[in-house]
Amino acid sequence: MTSILYIGGTGTISAASVRRSLERGHDVTVLNRGTGRRPVPGGVRELVADVRDPEAVRAVVGDSAFDVVADFLSFVPEQVENMLGVFEGRTSQYVFVSSASAYEKPPSHVPVTEGTPLVNPFWQYSRDKIACEDLLMAAHRDRGLPVTIIRPSHTYDSLTIPTMGGWTDIARMRAGKPVIVHGDGTTQWTITHADDVAVAVAGLLGLPAAIGQAFTVTGTHAPTWDVIYRWLARAAGVEEPDLVHVTSDAIAAFAPDLGPSLLGDKAHSMVFDNSKVRSLVPEFATTVTFDRGARGIVEYYDAHPDAQRVNADLDAAMDRMAAYARAAG
């Protein structure tokens, strides 16, 4: 039995990975603030602390050691350093969850592999993840830190709507309003259900062969954005959504908060080679395609009306985008 500490444990990927680790018979602990949207399963030990406070983390961890520490909540080097200050020397594998958005944009070739350069001039989130990876791999080279890096791409579950507007998009579809799709809608986008990603994540935990290595964990399901929106619409009971295509640059001008993730990730066709992770976790595969996943999303939100939150500012911006695109066309 492997003892695993998940720093996080209630997020999209980490919650599914916790469940998968339990199914594999491991001893699972989670460390978080205790306020996550996803419940912690029975049989999991819960440690409650603000992970941004290293002293609070030390207090709840005490003298515990873990075979694996899987860090889902560090996004900048300072946060990684804080976690290493607590756990280095007390684990046989420190797993850092990075992001496939760290790979170069636009990609010089596809499929993207672990050998693709890590450079993203458009999105600070990605640059911070790259800096975290650089810190960890230097620690591995210099002092033998037993690190494994995992790079997932766009991962969703029933609580996570992967389109640009989230529930606002579904509400607009059902109201017959135009829905904004970036670019011309033909960009291929790798989108993976959390239950599938969890197979790879949990499978890498405790594997000596994974030490000192980085793994792309994205699946192979890469529909176009138009198809993604249409599947979501059909799940919501809308057969012919009114899709309006707007350039990513224009969207960034109308809604600046959306710009970095579009220009630094979603505007580019991203298809990945997962052969490296599958060589160690051969059972990893795409089993949930988004036509099925979209039905799960709509079923969840229809059963939870309190979660159906329309972003009024984005909704208004989408009206302006649609008018702009149609006037220009």
Same domain, 186 and 198: no
* Burial per residue of 163-201, b for 16 or more beta-carbon CB atoms within 10 angstroms, e otherwise: bbbbbbbbbbbeeebbbbbbbebebebbbbbbbbbbbbb
Q: Is residue 143 part of a domain?
A: yes
Q: Indicate if 122 and 234 belong to the same structural domain.
A: no
Residues 53 and 69 in one domain: yes
Residue range 196-240, pLDDT digits in tens: 999 999 999 999 999 999 999 999 999 999 999 999 999 999 999
Residue 228's CATH number = 3.90.25
pLDDT average, residue stretch 313-320:
96
Whether 52 is in a domain gets the answer yes
Q: Could you tell me if 113 and 225 lie in one domain?
A: no
Mean pLDDT of the chain: 95
Share of the chain above pLDDT 70, in %: 100
Q: Please state the rounded mean pLDDT for residues 129-154.
A: 97
Residue 109 predicted with pLDDT over 80 = yes
Is there a domain that residue 305 lies in? yes
Q: What is the DSSP string of 280-324?
A: H-TT------HHHHHHHHHHHHHH-GGG----HHHHHHHHHHHHH
Task: Flag whether 12 is in a domain.
Answer: yes
Domain identity same for 256 and 123: no
Question: 200, 194, 192, 198: which is closest to 283 by C-alpha?
Answer: 200
What's the whole-number mean pLDDT along residues 248-276? Answer: 90
Structural domain boundaries enclosing 304 = 167-190+220-270+287-328
Domain membership flag for residue 276? no
CATH (domain of 115)? 3.40.50.720
* Count of domains forming the chain: 2
CA angle centred on 180, ends 175 and 185, rounded to 5°? 125
Give the model's pLDDT for residue 107: 87
Which pTM does this prediction carry?
0.94
**Is residue 317 located within the same domain as residue 195?**
no
- pLDDT of 136 higher than 70: yes
Q: How confident is the model at residue 329 (pLDDT cuts 50, 70, 90)?
A: low
Is 144 in the same domain as 53?
yes
User: Quick one: average pLDDT of 48-60?
Assistant: 96
171 shares its domain with 142: no
Residue 59 clears pLDDT 90, i.e. is over it = yes
Q: Are residues 201 and 312 in the same domain?
A: no
Burial class (CB in 10 A: 0-12, 13-18, 19+), 22: middle
Note whether residue 131 is domain-resident. yes
Residues 123 and 239 in one domain: no
User: Do 137 and 43 have their domain in common?
Assistant: yes
**29 token code pair:** 């602990």
Distance in angstroms (rounded) separating the CA atoms of residues 170 and 302? 11
Residue 182 counted as domain residue: yes
Q: Does an H or E element contain 170, and which?
A: helix 167-174
| Span 5-30, pLDDT tens digits | 999 999 999 999 999 999 999 999 99
Residue 295 and residue 206 share a domain: no
Note whether residue 34 is domain-resident. Answer: yes
